Amino acid sequence: MLDKPGVDIRQLLPSSAAVAICVWTGYFLCHTWQTLNYVELASVIVGVLCCYVGMTFVIVGRSTERAGPILATLGLVLAWMARPAAAIGAGLIPFFVFVEGRTSRTNAGTRFLFGALAAAAAAFAGLATKWPISRAAGLSAAALACYVGLAQAMRGSRPLPKATFTAVFALMVAAFLALAGVGLGSEHGYVAAVLLAYLAIRLGVEGALAVKDCTSEKVRSFACTALACAGLFAGALLVLQIGAGKRSKAELAWPVVLFALSIILLRLKPYMVRAGASPEQAGDSETSS
């Protein structure tokens, strides 16, 4: 998911955060305050992140390729300590990252496929800590994986065709608004509606600006915003899964954590976008500033 050699933490941050969001969401799609295990949660999140970052280190450069396998192995051990089934999801992530690294990263379809697969594997690692997985939880995890895949597809060095980008961003905004309307029928649907409406407005405004001049820099900026806002979408999905009951309000803590993470990532976006820009683009930005 990185487009240049060497490891830049600013460029790796949005993808790593998206992976962590997927694990967190998968875990709380099937857990409540009563079934929460802090050690298990920490093990699966850190384990999946180690698997993702470790294999990324192997792909991007010689200076980190030795540390990569060690980190990935540590991640598998941590995920196994959480639940053996969770290690399956964690183990699939290095495979998807490796295959993506050996394919054409300039192809948007390839980036979408492997971005969505890695996100789905991360979400599965969280879901697998409790069995069986409900249909609603599985569909929510799949929706989040597709969202992350779309954002990753737009992070390439080549700009998407204007018609393709317009269709994708318009479909995303329409889906958020539709889901917000459907969610109003649930007990805490107003919280989900607020998160989805904010997400639709944020992406809609930036997407409309990018459509006017569909350059690689504008599209990558939009993609970075979408990745940073993954916590808003995931939080809305968690809210919609909250059942009725006196203790249901306490479950809003998990979406709030994702909301706070998204806000932090949005504040860091200028640094992450510059890290992913080409030298020529970075020079232009410094000149204009």
Residue 230: pLDDT band with limits 50, 70, 90 = very high
List pLDDT tens digits, range 246-274: 567 788 899 999 999 999 999 988 877 76
Q: Are the beta carbons of 44 and 26 closer than 8 angstroms?
A: no
- CA nearest 140: which of 27, 230, 226, 26? 26
Cα 69–Cα 51–Cα 216 angle in degrees, nearest 5: 105
Is residue 2 in some structural domain?
Answer: no
Most confident of 11-15, 68-72, 104-108, 115-119: 115-119
Whether the model pTM is above 0.75 = yes
Burial zone of 281 (CB within 10 Å; 0-12 exposed, 13-18 middle, 19+ buried)? middle
Residue 213: other Cβ atoms inside 10 A: 11
Is residue 4 in some structural domain?
Answer: no
Is residue 1 in some structural domain?
Answer: no
Whole-angstrom distance, CA of residue 173 vs CA of residue 169? 6
- For the record, the structure tokens of 57 come out as 């280190």
Peptide bond into 161 cis (omega under 30): no
Is residue 287 in some structural domain?
Answer: no
Q: Give residues with Cβ within 8 angstroms of 21, minimum separation 6.
A: 144, 230, 231, 234, 258, 261
List pLDDT tens digits, range 59-89: 876 566 678 889 999 999 999 999 999 999 9
- For the record, the structure tokens of 230 come out as 């993954």
Whole-angstrom distance, CA of residue 217 vs CA of residue 146? 22
- The reported pLDDT for the residue numbered 278 is 43
Please, what sign has the CA dihedral across residues 133, 136, 137, 139? Answer: positive
Got the DSSP string for 183-225?
HTTSTTHHHHHHHHHHHHHHHHHHHHHHHHT--HHHHHHHHHH
CA distances, 242 to each of 136, 137, 247 (Å): 11, 11, 10
What is residue 35's DSSP assignment? T
What is the SS3 string spanning 78-92?
Answer: HHHHHCHHHHHHHHH
Domain that holds residue 174: 9-277
Is residue 86 in some structural domain?
Answer: yes
Number of domain units in the chain: 1
- Token pair 């941050």: residue: 13
Whole-angstrom distance, CA of residue 29 vs CA of residue 169? 26
Mean pLDDT of 155-166: 79
Residue 157: other Cβ atoms inside 10 A: 13
Whole-angstrom distance, CA of residue 194 vs CA of residue 280? 39
What percent of the chain has a predicted confidence (pLDDT) above 70?
A: 86
Q: What is the domain-level CATH number for residue 128?
A: 1.10.600
Is residue 3 in some structural domain?
Answer: no
Is residue 283 in some structural domain?
Answer: no
Whole-angstrom distance, CA of residue 11 vs CA of residue 274? 9
**Is the pLDDT at 10 greater than 80, yes or no?**
no
For the chain, the distance separating the N- and C-terminal CA atoms, rounded to the nearest angstrom, is 28
Is residue 285 in some structural domain?
Answer: no
Whole-angstrom distance, CA of residue 109 vs CA of residue 173? 20
- The reported pLDDT for the residue numbered 185 is 73
